[in-house]
Structure 1
Amino acid sequence: ERYGLETWFKIGDMDFATHIYRTLMLRGKMRLSEVTDMIAKRLGIRHRIVPMTDDRVRTVVVTECGHMSFQEYFVEKRGEVRVKSVIYEGAEEAEPCSEVIPSIMDSRAVIIAPSNPILSIGPILALRGVREALRKTRAVRVGVTPIIGGRAVKGPADRLMRDLGIEPTAASVARLYSDILDLFIIDEVDASMAGEASKYVPRCIVTNTLMQTRQDRVRLATYILTAINEVR
């Protein structure tokens, strides 16, 4: 602030260090997938993490106040400005990382996590070849609702969907994923909506999807794996 610069993007020391490290590596001509793999290994993460692309793709939120980056919309404005549209800038030209399509095609199951369907999952599905791969794969394709009782568990998904003319319900999320899911999981709060959601996906099941503790996360993961085995 004393330097007269903007200070709305407040992050912790670990996040700040990671951003600096990643930027230095990218400026050194490393690919994002290489940097991601290096960071994961240094943090002791055993599982393989692959970004959707090594190319530049930028989520632009078109609001009543003008065009904004995702960070400006979500952090600076706290998702409180009205959204007119969302643009995935560069998605049509970008190529998926080399592991993305083979991973989709060769996996036993693909799980779409309960993230924002417009701002988090949308950019991935907009990338060339990803949605088509999800349509063609023989993997069991599972989605978990990010909307419970008409509200987002975290973040601005419900407000954003409403601004874009999409009713913020679990059934609406099922409709957005209707061509790429075999199974959709909704929360028990929305059990009465299972019939409507089933109009868009072959099968809809109900359970407690709210993850507040590690035990909750383990419980839901076990439930999903059991459901996948039943589908297969």
Structure 2
Amino acid sequence: MPNQDQNPKAMLDPREPLPPQAQDFARKLNKMLDGHQKDEATVAQQFEGLEGMFDLIAAGLYSLASMLVGEGEDSIRLVETAVANAEVSACSQPEEARLSGRRALVAAALNLIAARNPESLAAPAGLEHADTCIEDDDLDAAGVSREELERMMAGPDRDRMRAWLESLPTPTRTIFVLRAVAGYSTAQTAAALAEFAGPRAAGWKPEAVRELFRQGLCSLASQMVKAGIH
């Protein structure tokens, strides 16, 4: 999915530095994907010393999945699906492979959310601009730095952040995670919803995504005030 209108201020950190062994991991992985059968010993030998990369990839995908659909078996299955469906063989760089895995996971997660409730991600009809505390659709507008949001996602405030995410309406939660965490642009988010979230989601437009993300940011700002962070 092209990344033509990305706003770096609207995302958490989709391009966090890759570990030093990522290039070697990607090179060996592409070498192994040559269409020939490999026995277990050969695979183990190729990836000896790189076990941590598998854990890192799985942990990152699981974290994103759990924000979209909740923690537990569904998120684990989404990670398995993403790994199976990611177009890793077409990726020459580790960053490309990571983004491919993320796209595969997002597609599977949207499919699952729609399967749970076909109406949950239906495109809004006649969505009007709400008078909220935030007018711009980037993290800075919420008064939240990227470092603060990272701490809320993975640090001591993790439980509070998860509870807040779960309290949001499904469309707002999904859009917030895609925009702020997965690093999708407004247009990419609308396209993903329309393509993967079922027939009732076909009408998603960037304007609606922008509006709901802005509302999500306003809710986040309110949470920060309640928590005494600002």
Give the alignment's TM-score, normalised by structure 2. 0.30
Q: Identify which of structures 1 and 2 has the higher relative contact order when contacts are C-alpha pairs closer than 8 Å and 6+ apart.
A: 2
Name the structure with the higher helix share.
2
Give the alignment's TM-score, normalised by structure 1. 0.29
